[in-house]
Amino acid sequence: MADKRLFIYVTLLLSIGVLMSYSLSAYAIVFYHYSQFHFLIRELITGIIGIVIMWALSYLDLNRQFFIVGFIILVVSTLLIFILPFLPDSIASSAGGAKRWIRFPGFSLNPIEPFKVGYIFFISWSLSRKFDYNNKYNLLDQIMILIPHIFVFAVMAFMIAIFQNDLGQVVLLGASFIIILIFAGGSFQLFGLIMIGFGAIGTLFIVTSAHRILRLKTWWANIQDLALAIVPNSFIKDLQVNNLPEPYQIHNAANAIYNGGFFGVGLGNGTFKLGFLSDVHTDMILAGISEELGFIGLVVCVALIFFIVYRILRISYRQKNRFYYLFCLGISLLISISFIINAFGIVGITPVKGIAVPFLSYGGSNLLSNCIAIGLVLALSKKVKLK
């Protein structure tokens, strides 16, 4: 039997996301002249479909159907990412100066979201076959094993970071890849070498993009005073930057969190969602939840995220098949790292990256892709005994 607790935790978090998509979308409804229940209906329908998908995938035959489903997700999403830049504007929607969505009748799809699940499937399957715990690989052997994987990652990173202008997703996939590599049997020397390489490539992507430099400056403007207060005086002159852009988004997010206090101002009574905080029902939903539901509401959401990741890790730990073990680990990383990147961006610890909060942020592509991932984990949970 599939893990009922994991299914319940995801359904509860998803339900909160549907509710908040209605409460926090007030300004977008007025601005775009939508009907009052536009976002609620769309997210509710998507949520119901997601729950059905989780339930259906939990019945997969692991001996054959699991691999077929994972392979289809990988191939289809990869092809869509490659053809997306060449589609006409009537079919492909743009955001941030790049085409990111493919329009279908009644809905739009961001192919990066299902690709993340497919990529975790691919590297889990491949690394489980390439690395053997019983063999001791030297650094050169490990590098030779990883060359095809690094090539695949480099190609996809180029497509996502350049053509779709979305470095945040590359960071998410890169972090997941590195951690899975370590648990697959890679050495810490290889880990350090890859970190240096990824750091160099990431720096190159940032310095060659005006909007990424601006985002970095906005982040530094928010933490500059705090950072300069704790460094030696001799370094202040070199680190201080003048004429920085105002970090309105981060400031408004912090004010929304402060305004919510312990118990919140009440569902639907938030003020920072009324044009002060953009994308509040999507990328900034944690700030919106903090204002309306307070610290208590935020803790409930964080706890549900924790319980979801914890249940997935329990399923992963009990898998005897290394492929299944690494896949479950990878899905837990996608969920937890996405949450951390989003939360750190909102409070100003890191630059805002536009990564959605799993099961909470408004958006069908992210929600359905995460439900597919959980459905596959539920199918694998049937192979282990859980309390």
Find the mean pLDDT for residues 360-367. 92
Structural tokens at position 230: 């704790």
Res. 133 pLDDT band, cuts 50 70 90? low
Partnered with residue 92 across adjacent β-strands are 102
Find the mean pLDDT for residues 304-317. 96
For residue 95, the surrounding DSSP H or E stretch is: strand 92-95
DSSP one-letter code for 245: P
- Percentage above 90 pLDDT, the chain: 43
74 pLDDT exceeds 90? yes
Q: Would the pTM count as exceeding 0.85? A: yes
pLDDT value of residue 254 = 86
Q: Where are the domains of the chain?
A: 4-381
Burial group, residue 118, by CB count within 10 angstroms (0-12, 13-18, 19+):
buried
* Mean pLDDT over the full length of the chain: 86
Res. 14 pLDDT band, cuts 50 70 90? very high
pLDDT value of residue 54 = 95
Those residues whose C-beta lies under 8 Å from the C-beta of residue 225, and which sit 6 or more positions away, are none
CA distances from 231 to 179, 243, 350 (A): 32, 21, 19
Q: Among the ranges 3-12, 63-72, 197-206, 281-290, which has the highest mean pLDDT value? A: 3-12
More confident position, 131 or 313: 313
Q: What is the pLDDT of residues 82-127, one digit of tens each?
A: 998 888 877 877 665 677 888 887 788 899 999 999 999 999 999 9
Find the mean pLDDT for residues 320-336. 95
Distance of CA 283 to the CA centre of its chain: 10
Distance CA 59, CA 11 (A): 18
For 158-213, give the DSSP string: HIIIIIS--HHHHHHHHHHHHHHHHHHT--HHHHHHHHHHHHHHHHHHHHT-HHHH
Q: Indicate the range of 159-168, 209-218, 349-358 predicted with least confidence.
A: 209-218
Distance CA 102, CA 89 (A): 9
Q: Indicate the range of 9-13, 204-208, 261-265, 296-300 predicted with least confidence.
A: 204-208
Residue for token pair 């191939």: 75
Q: What is the pLDDT of residues 236-253, one digit of tens each?
A: 666 676 666 667 788 888
Q: Is 61 left (phi over 0), alpha (psi -120 to 50) or beta?
A: beta
For residue 104, the surrounding DSSP H or E stretch is: strand 98-104
**Both ends of the chain: CA-CA distance in Å?**
12
Q: Contact, 324 vs 297, CB < 8 A?
A: no
Partnered with residue 98 across adjacent β-strands are 95
Distance CA 73, CA 111 (A): 10
The amino acid present at 343, given as its one-letter code, is A
pLDDT value of residue 229 = 66
More confident position, 147 or 289: 289
Distance CA 93, CA 101 (A): 5
Those residues whose C-beta lies under 8 Å from the C-beta of residue 195, and which sit 6 or more positions away, are 178
Those residues whose C-beta lies under 8 Å from the C-beta of residue 31, and which sit 6 or more positions away, are 275
Q: CA angle 256-262-267, nearest 5°?
A: 65
pLDDT value of residue 225 = 65
Q: What is the pLDDT of residues 30-57, one digit of tens each?
A: 888 888 888 999 999 999 999 999 999 9
pLDDT value of residue 244 = 64
Distance CA 7, CA 359 (A): 12
Q: Contact, 113 vs 372, CB < 8 A?
A: no
